[in-house]
Structures are given as C-alpha cells and as structure tokens.
Amino acid sequence: MRDRFLRACRRQPVDRTPIWLMRQAGRYMPEYRAVRERYGFLQMVKTPEVAAEVTLQPIRAFGVDAAIIFADILPPLEGLGFRLTYEKGEGPVIHNPIRQPRDVAGLHSSDPRETVAYTLTALRLVKRELNGLPLIGFSGAPFTLASYAIEGGGSKEYRLTKRFMYEQPAAWHDLMERLSQLVAEYLIAQVEAGADAVQIFDSWAGALAPADYRAFVLRHTQNVVATIRARLGEAAPPIIYFGTDMAGLAGELRQIGADVLGVDWRIDLDVAWAQYGYEHAVQGNLDPMTLFAPRELIAARAREILQRAAGRPGHIFNLGHGILTETPVDHVRYLVEFVQSFPLPTEAPALEEVME
C-alpha cells in the first residue's frame, strides 16, 4: 500500500499509520551535509538535479511513506521583486522589505511557473524516481510570507508585521491578496508538475491572537484553498495546513477548508483532533526534541501519540515541527521503524492506558 499517506489524508482506512517527517531532507543527515558542502543553500534549491537528489535521500535512508520536495518558502517572493539572500548563521534576509503602503503597490506580478520553474522541474525529476510513493509539494502561507516580507527576516514578536497590519489595513489586505494568488498559483503548478498533496506552512501565524487571525488572515488562507479546489476540481490534491502554537486557533483552523491539519507537540493529539473536528485528518505530533531522548522514551511518546489517534482513520505520523539539526540519525531510523511496525488498533484505548 504505497499510497497509505494519501489514503490517510482522505481519512480512508490504511494498513498501518503512515509517517514522514517535516524537514526530513536536512542537515542532520550526513548525505545531505556532503551535498551542502558543495553548494550554497539557495543554489541547492535552484538546481533541480540537486534538489531532487536531496529530496530522495530520506526515502532511501528511512523508507518514509512520502517524499516532500526540497525547496524553501521564500524564493517565490523573488518574483514579486524582493531581493533575498541567506546569510550564514542568520538565516534568510530580505534586503528590500515592505515598510509602507507604496511598497505593496510597487510589487511585481509574477508567474511562479517562470520564477520558481526550478522547483517545478525538481518535482518532475523526483516524481520519476518514486515509483508511486506520494510526493508532497509546499508553499509558505500568505501570513508567514507577509511577515518575512515585512520584517525582512526572522522575528521574535513580529512587531513590524503586526504594526503594519494594525496601522495600514488596506495595504495589508492588498499584500495578502497578492500573496494568496501567488501561493495558489504556485501550488497548482506544483500539482501539475507531479505533487500528490500540498502543504501550506503558516509557521508564524500562531503568534496571532484569534481576533487578529479572523480580521487579517483567515479569508486569505481560505482563498488559497478555495482557488486550488476551484481550478483543479476532481484533480485537487489533499491540502495540509500546518503551523505551530495553534492550539488556541481551533475555531479558525476549522474554517480554512484544508483536508489535513498539522498539530504541533504542544497539545495532545486527541485533544487537538476533537477541537479541529473529525472531518479533518491530522498530522503530527512528536516534539522534535524527543528524538534526542533515549530510545525507550521515543518509543513511549510515539506509542502514546499512536494510541491517542487510534480508532479512526486519518492520522499521519509526523513531528510537531521540522526535524532539528544534530538529531541522531539512528534515532530517526528507530522512530520510523517503530511507527511502521506498530499494530494499528481498531478502536480508541481507554484513557488509563494512555496516561503515564
């Protein structure tokens, strides 16, 4: 059953719980570091053969149940006119961030089929090698892209983003509409290039109060999902929406229209699922730091997650956020084997069995 990941996304029964890991192609792998020594990060993303090779590394090493294209959420912003570099130790820097409404009005229109063609080519290359294993495409969500575009890089409190949103609501919504169109077009192009599912990373939206998410973000996230469904119809892939720190946003997440909701590690999976509604599949939710723990503890935590999800189809095992640098590779392999050999219970266990 090579499509068990896609079946779980659609809440169909599976033979066992599928597993893949966010940022599974990354620095913790020696094979990745060997490639990285020869290329800059952005160069890896923009060279389809290299991106394809790196995408396949964790498939070969661990036999996870899905591949996710090696790419980054920020390069699509270059098509709008943003100048992007990755500084050593600092992460991404946007050198001409948005600071005023006229900066939004001056953005270019952009066809991701041209500006991010390298990632679409990489998807086609990977697809040939997967022999039916599902391939996941992805994009940053409008809010997370907007926050990078405004802050010019990472941020702790999103001061500039929130002030722009509060003080310039018309320009904010203009920016979010442009980004929503970009994201939808980019994800549609990824599906046409071979992606079997798409994940929308809203990594930073958990920094928002629910009232702000409703006022400034929700309609744009919904538009991305609705545009993909309207354009692709029956061919629309499962859509996964992921963010961290979203345990308080259940009421909003329910309204996005995604098939699958990502769950970070800060909430019990069954509690999240009940709040998100069983009309969604769920993906998660082991703390990435738990992979540094002794094997017995990795097993205990993974077992608890599997048990909390048991009794209903629609769980994809994953970490609650991307895998961390320096994660022990043999612990990753242990986790994948543990999940893949776990007998799928047919009904939810009593709570006593789950608690420690």
Shortest reach from residue 286's CB to a copy of itself, in Å:
8
Assess contact for 47 and 118: CB atoms under 8 A: yes
Identify the bridge partners of residue 284 per DSSP, sorted by sequence position. Answer: 317
Told to judge if 39 belongs to the known catalytic residues of this protein, a careful annotator would answer: no
CB atoms within 10 A of CB 48: 18
Q: Which of 32, 148, 213, 241 is catalytic?
A: 148
Told to judge if 264 belongs to the known catalytic residues of this protein, a careful annotator would answer: no
Assess contact for 139 and 201: CB atoms under 8 A: yes
Q: Contacts with a copy of itself in 163-192 (CB under 8 A)?
A: 163, 166-167
CB atoms within 10 A of CB 264: 21
Shortest reach from residue 244's CB to a copy of itself, in Å:
9
CB-nearer residue toward a copy of itself: 1 or 351: 351
CB-nearer residue toward a copy of itself: 13 or 328: 328
Assess contact for 253 and 261: CB atoms under 8 A: yes
Q: Contacts with a copy of itself in 283-342 (CB under 8 A)?
A: 286-290, 292-294, 297, 301, 304, 320, 324
The Cα 125–Cα 122 span in angstroms is 5
Among 11, 127, 162, 178, binds a copy of itself (CB under 8 A): 162
The Cα 256–Cα 238 span in angstroms is 13
Told to judge if 99 belongs to the known catalytic residues of this protein, a careful annotator would answer: no
The secondary structure of residue 79, as a DSSP letter, is G
Among 54, 120, 267, 339, binds a copy of itself (CB under 8 A): 267
Among 170, 235, 350, 355, binds a copy of itself (CB under 8 A): 355
Q: Contacts with a copy of itself in 14-43 (CB under 8 A)?
A: none
Give the CA count within 13 Å in the CB-facing half-sphere of 197.
28
Question: What is the b/e burial string over 82-97, where b = at least 16 CB atoms within 10 angstroms of the residue's CB?
Answer: bebebeeeeebbbeeb
Q: Which of 65, 72, 202, 259 is catalytic?
A: 72
Among 266, 313, 334, 338, binds a copy of itself (CB under 8 A): 266
CB-nearer residue toward a copy of itself: 113 or 266: 266
Token output for 59: 């498939």
Q: Contacts with a copy of itself in 129-158 (CB under 8 A)?
A: 157-158
Pairing of strands 91-94, 84-87: antiparallel
CB-nearer residue toward a copy of itself: 124 or 331: 331
Among 56, 67, 207, 217, binds a copy of itself (CB under 8 A): 207
Q: What is the dihedral of CA 163, 167, 171, 172, to 10 degrees?
A: 40
Q: Which of 10, 27, 113, 214 is catalytic?
A: 27
Told to judge if 312 belongs to the known catalytic residues of this protein, a careful annotator would answer: no
**How far apart, in Å, do the first and last CA atoms of the chain sit?**
33
- Confirm or reject binding of residue 214 to a copy of itself (CB under 8 A): yes
Q: In angstroms, what CA-CA distances link 261 with 87, 126, 153?
A: 32, 25, 26
Active site residue ranges: 23, 27, 36, 72, 148
Residues at the site binding a copy of itself, with contacts judged by CB under 8 A: 157-159, 162-163, 166-167, 206-212, 214-215, 245, 247-251, 265-268, 271-272, 286-290, 292-294, 297, 301, 304, 320, 324, 355-356
